[in-house]
Amino acid sequence: MYPTRMDNFSTRKTSARLRQGNTTLLTIQLSRMLMHLFRERSGSIYSRRHGIRGDECSSPGGTSKLHFPSSSAESNMHLFQRINFLILNLGANAIPTLYTPNSTNSTNSTYLPPRLITLEEHMLSPTFKAEAIATGIQNAGPNILEKLLDVGAGRLADMDAGHVSVQVLSQPDVGVGLEDPEGCREANDYLRAAIDAYPDRFAGFAVLPMASPELAAAELERSVKDLGFKGAMLWNHLKNGTYYDSPAFHPVFSTGQDLDVPLYLHPTTPAPDVAARLYAENYFPATAALLGGSAWGWHVDVGLHVLRLYAAGVFDLFPRLRLIIGHNGEGLPMFVDRVGQQGLRNGPSFSEVWKKNIWCTTSGFFTVRQFRQLLQVSPVERVLYSVDYPFEETTDGWAFVEELAREGVLSRSEMDAFAYKNAERLLKL
C-alpha cells in the first residue's frame, strides 16, 4: 500500500457524489474538509517555521499551547469563511475546478484491475549463468541471481504479492546469447519447460543470436511455431555496438512481421568504447556504470536505435512490424513531435509510426507524471503495464497501479486495457 497521497480518497469520494448530483452532501463535506485543513495545516506550518515540536502544540489536558499571530490566522480564517459562504450558498458552481465532467485529465476513478500481465520480466537459463555473472549482474540488487534463476515458488510468491497474473519471461539484460546460436536454442528450450510447469502464469519471449541474423530469424520462427513463444526480446545492439538498422538484419524483422509477433527492443550494456568515451571519465566506476546504464545511457541508446530504424526505412519495408520498448518509451515521448517537425525522412511521419508500430511498457517507471506524459503521445491501446522483475519489485508496481487509480488517470476500460487487455491482444494470450 502506498503511504502517500492517501488524502486523495476523500476528494475522490466527494467528486463521485458530485457526479451523482448530491450537491448538498458535497457542500457540507467540503465545508468540514476546509475547516479541518485550516486547523491541521495552520498549526503544523506555524510549528515547523517557528521550531515548535508537535508535543508542544497542546498541553497534557488538551488545551492548546500554540497561539497563532492574529495577522496570519485571522486572515486565513476570514478566507476560509468566505469560501465556505460561497460553497454553502452557490453549491457546486462555486468550485468548478474540483471535478470537470468528461475531463481528459482525470476520471476520478479508484477502480483497480482484476489482473495484471507483465512483459519485461527476466529469468536466467543455466546455459547463460556464467556469461551473466561475468557482467556483474549478481551485484544489481539483493538476491538478484537467485531470483533470476527461480522460475518456481519464489517467483510465484513475488508475483502474487504484486497481483501479477502472468509474466512474459525473457533472459536478463546483459546481452546473453548474441553470438551463441546453440546457447539460445538451449535457453529457449529451458524456458519452454519452465512455462510448461506453470502454463497459466508464464509465457515467453525468445532470446536470439542476433550476431547471425539468418540464424536469429530461424530461431525466432522455431520459438514461435514449435515452442509457442509470443515474440522475442532483442538486446539493443551487438557487443561491438552494432545496431540493427542495416539490411543484414532484415530477415529478423521480416520473420517477426510474417509471424505477427512483437519484437521487444531492450537496453543492454554499452559497448566498451562507448562506455569509455561517454560515461567513464570523471566518476567513480559505480557512478559511470549507472550513468551509462539504468540512470540514462540505456534509455537514450534504445531511443536512438528506434530513430535509426525509422530513418533507415525499416517501418516502410515492414509496415506490420510490431516493436515494443520499455521504460515509458525510453525518452522518446518528448521527441515524437520534434522528430516529425525536422522532416527526418520522407514517407510516414514518426508520429504515425509511433502510434501504429510501437508499443510502450512502464517497466520500472512508476511515477504518475511520466505516465501522463506518455499518454500525451501514445494511445492507451499502445501502453502496457510491466515491472522489470527482479530488478524492480512487483509490490512497487502494484503501488503505482493503486496510485493511478487514486489519481484518476485512467477510466475503468482504460485501466483494464493498460493492465492486461492490451497484452492479451498483442500477444494473443
Tens digits of residue pLDDT in 335-347: 999 998 887 888 8
Tell me the pLDDT band of 176, cut-offs 50, 70 and 90.
confident
User: Which element (helix H / strand E) includes 301?
Assistant: helix 297-311
Is residue 364 one of the residues assigned to a domain?
yes
- Residue 247 confidence (pLDDT) above 60: yes
Give dist(CA 151, CA 172) in Å, integer: 13
**What is the pLDDT at residue 345?**
85
- Residue 17 confidence (pLDDT) above 50: no
Q: What is the CATH number of the domain that holds 313?
A: 3.20.20.140
**What is the pLDDT at residue 174?**
84
- Residue 66 confidence (pLDDT) above 80: no
Give dist(CA 429, CA 413) in Å, integer: 19
Give the domain extent around 128.
116-427
pLDDT-above-70 percentage for the chain: 75
Q: Which cell is 32 given?
A: 468540514
Cα angle 24-26-32, degrees, rounded to a multiple of 5: 110
Integer distance in angstroms from the first to the last C-alpha of the chain?
Answer: 29
> Which of 43-57, 172-186, 225-239 bottoms out in mean pLDDT, i.e. has the lowest?
43-57
- Residue 305 confidence (pLDDT) above 50: yes
Domains in the chain, number: 1
Cα angle 206-293-401, degrees, rounded to a multiple of 5: 70
- Residue 21 confidence (pLDDT) above 70: no
- Asked if 418 and 383 touch (Cβ cutoff 8 Å), the reply is yes
CA distances from 139 to 134, 273, 379 (A): 11, 22, 37
At 409 the three-state DSSP class reads coil
Residue 206 DSSP class = E
How much is the average pLDDT of 329-337? 94
Is residue 336 one of the residues assigned to a domain?
yes
User: Which element (helix H / strand E) includes 234?
Assistant: strand 232-235
Q: Which residue has the higher pLDDT, 223 or 16?
A: 223
Is residue 184 one of the residues assigned to a domain?
yes
Spatial strand order in the sheet of 206-207 = 206-207, 232-235, 263-266, 323-325, 358-361, 383-384
| Position 143, amino acid | N
The closest of 124, 152, 117 to 138, measured between CA atoms, is 124
Is residue 175 one of the residues assigned to a domain?
yes
Mean pLDDT of the chain: 82
Residues 6+ apart with CB under 8 A from 53: 47
Q: Which residue has the higher pLDDT, 5 or 217?
A: 217
How much is the average pLDDT of 85-101? 38
- Residue 296 confidence (pLDDT) above 50: yes
The closest of 386, 363, 383, 364 to 373, measured between CA atoms, is 383
| Position 350, amino acid | F
- Asked if 310 and 345 touch (Cβ cutoff 8 Å), the reply is yes
**What is the pLDDT at residue 109?**
62
- Residue 233 confidence (pLDDT) above 60: yes
| Position 68, amino acid | F
- Asked if 1 and 398 touch (Cβ cutoff 8 Å), the reply is no
- Residue 118 confidence (pLDDT) above 90: yes
At 3 the three-state DSSP class reads coil
Residue position matching grid coordinates 546460436: 181
Q: Which cell is 49 given?
A: 517555521
Is residue 23 one of the residues assigned to a domain?
no
Q: Which residue has the higher pLDDT, 281 or 92?
A: 281
Residue 388 DSSP class = -
Residue position matching grid coordinates 475531463: 103
How much is the average pLDDT of 143-155? 98
Q: Which cell is 130 given?
A: 556464467
**What is the pLDDT at residue 350?**
95
- Residue 136 confidence (pLDDT) above 50: yes
Tell me the pLDDT band of 3, cut-offs 50, 70 and 90.
very low
- Residue 9 confidence (pLDDT) above 70: no
Tell me the pLDDT band of 282, cut-offs 50, 70 and 90.
confident
